[in-house]
Amino acid sequence: MTHEINFDGLVGPTHNYAALAVGNLASAAHGMTVSNPKEAALQGLAKMKFMMDLGVKQGVLPPHERPFVPALRNLGFSGNDAEIVERAQQDAPLLLRACSSASAMWAANSAVVSPSSDTADGKVHFTAANMATQLHRAIEAEFTSRVLQRFFADQGYFAHHEPLYCNMQLSDEGAANHMRLAASHGESGIEIFVYGKKALAPGVLPAKFPARQTFEASDAIARLHQLSPARTFFIQQSPAAIDAGAFHNDVVAVSNENVLLYHASAYVQDISKYFPGMHLIKVSEEQVPLADAIRSYLFNSQLVTLRDGGMVLICPSECEEIASTREYLKTVPTSTSPIHSCHFIDVRQSMKNGGGPACLRLRVVLNDEQMGALHQRALLTPPVYDQLVRWVHAHYRDKLHPDELGDPKLLEETRAALDDLSNILQLGSIYDFQKR
């Protein structure tokens, strides 16, 4: 039997609104306002529990160490750790904000994962994303790889690749620009890589915001994962969609098994002819204007299959508040649609920073044998969920402004939290500060 597991990133204790992500309209709109890390983490956990209660297998990924003092040392700051964060706040607050971002919560950017049914060697392949275009994301790759290798350690089942060289020509933003279509999760599928530009060839580019994913990065990952060229597609995202605020493909499209739900403005080319036998649902500009799709994160909903084979769409609550998306979603569950129902969840703390339900999760398809080789504490269970809720209440602040990131007490609080989390998830000394 084959299972799709949604691995959600736990929201870290330094969740803040520093407006670091160029091209992310929600992040820019809420920049330098007060966040609520405790509420953000609890909302993320509540989403995970909701999925688990639906019968969807749910995993959890730990937050990264933030503020990340090794990065600040690399940038020229010296002294003990507390002195470093204080000096960074005083001398280079923008660098401190980048090194304190909780952006690893958006696990859709963490890696590209190819299931064993798609790869030539029959292993599950992982490549952690380098996220080269954004400093606050580029510092995530090494720890992401470390966690994935800890969770998926058995080399008989899992193959791990180093992140691509961190440069603009090989910029890779992970599963947020990767989709898969198949008759079912366990069958050999079609892998779709969506890129914003060809870095080494001329082409049409967005005029306002950067195209973060390059064709060259996607092409390299397809080779590394030993994918069949006949079942691998490369599609260019529309520059107009990027300029409108769709900085990743998962802001304008979502797929699951044989279903692809996408906005008519998502791609340069007409994709309707590419995937015969698949159920493509194109949403027109008249049904949902692109601006509303981006504001509501309609396409950043999670589309999942339940045990009875029916599909459900897990939407951010903002989709209920915007007229076009609310009315469109009323039309989705029909007698002929594979999508049987829509649910709405509150992840507003994440949404204010530009990440919806699908941003928070990395999808991994495993068969029973591979499930047996998985680090079992990576899976969410009711007891683990209860432990994590208590952990959040014990360690998280309910207010945080970006100007407070240089507080040495925050550094102490986050390290105490991550120490406890390492025990809950049985990770050992996985963080840099634990190894000194």
Q: What is the DSSP string of 359-406?
A: GGEEEEEEEHHHHHHS-GGGB--HHHHHHHHHHHHHH--S-B-GGGTT
- Computed on alpha carbons and rounded to an integer, the radius of gyration of the chain in Å comes to 20
Dihedral through CA 162, CA 168, CA 174, CA 177, nearest 10?
Answer: -150
Catalytic residue among 125, 136, 248, 263: 248
* Whole-angstrom distance, CA of residue 54 vs CA of residue 198: 40
Please name the amino acid found at residue 407: D
Q: How far is CA 379 from CA 7, 62, 161, 305, 321, in A?
A: 8, 12, 23, 18, 33
How many residues in the chain? Answer: 436
- Establish whether 327 is a catalytic residue: no
Q: Residue 117's closest CA among 193, 219, 218, 225?
A: 225
Exposed e or buried b per residue across 384-422, where buried means at least 16 C-beta atoms within 10 angstroms of its C-beta: bbebbeebbeebbbeebebebbbbbebbebbbebbeebb
- Establish whether 86 is a catalytic residue: no
Count of C-beta atoms within a 10 Å radius of residue 132: 23
Phi/psi region, residue 329 (left: phi>0; alpha: psi -120 to 50; beta: rest), is alpha
Catalytic residue among 99, 315, 319, 359: 359
- Establish whether 30 is a catalytic residue: no
Catalytic residue among 4, 173, 257, 318: 173
Residue positions annotated with a catalytic role: 173, 248, 359
